[in-house]
Amino acid sequence: MTSPAEPPKFTVISSTAAVLSSALVALAGSESAQALPKDSGAEETVASAASSARLTVAIDGFRNNRGQALVALFRKAGAFPAQVEQAERRAESTITNLRAQVVFEQVPPGELALSVLHDEDNDRVCRLGLFGIPKEGLGFSRNVRARFGPPDFADAKLKLAAGAQVSIAIHMRYYGF
């Protein structure tokens, strides 16, 4: 369900560098928890676990079961969705019956946005077509659409409360010809 410990390099293949194409790179990497320093007290560990949330992301609307779903969780408006290397967390899932699911454990509360790539050919690259239009499916939190460019963080953001157990649904969209 999660990817290898060392994330691969990101690549965008396109002869046209439109705004949308630069923002829709592969969403690859690893879902990892950050360890507390060795000198942290037990109280800090308990408080951290109690205030963190669990986020389940159910994804539907895949056009086929090939490849995998690559999911990135962002905290920074300037990074979403283009700068995947700045995503706080990344995860991947196999696609079964045109659906996929990832779970992010121990997520600190606050604002976040999610993006999903249907990496149909398992190359960890969002294939682009004419004018930089993605050939592979994309999805975003709050099911915002990419229209003439990537969606804004403000349109896709969610607010996660401390200790919450939240499930959200993301529907995949295909823009290519």
H, E, C per residue of the chain: CCCCCCCCCCCCCCCCCCHHHHHCCCCCCCCCCCCCCCCCCHHHHHHHHHHCEEEEEEEECCCCCCCEEEEEEECCCCCCCCCHHHCCEEEEEECECCEEEEEEEEECCEEEEEEEEEECCCCCCCCECHHHCECCCEEEHHHCCCCCCCCCHHHHCEEECCCCEEEEEEECECCCC
- Model confidence band, residue 16 (pLDDT cutoffs 50, 70, 90): very low
Render pLDDT for 72-85 as a digit per residue (tens, 0 to 9).
999 999 999 988 88
- Where in the chain are the domains? 19-171
CA distance 67 to 70: 10
Please report the pLDDT score of residue 48 as a whole number. Answer: 60
Q: What is the mean pLDDT of the chain?
A: 78
Render pLDDT for 92-145 as a digit per residue (tens, 0 to 9).
999 999 999 999 999 999 999 999 999 999 998 888 888 888 999 999 999 999
- Which is more confident, 32 or 123? 123
Please report the pLDDT score of residue 125 as a whole number. Answer: 82
Class of domain 19-171: mainly beta
- Model confidence band, residue 29 (pLDDT cutoffs 50, 70, 90): very low
Mean pLDDT in residue range 17-43: 35
- Which is more confident, 36 or 79? 79
Render pLDDT for 41-69 as a digit per residue (tens, 0 to 9).
434 334 466 689 999 999 999 999 999 99
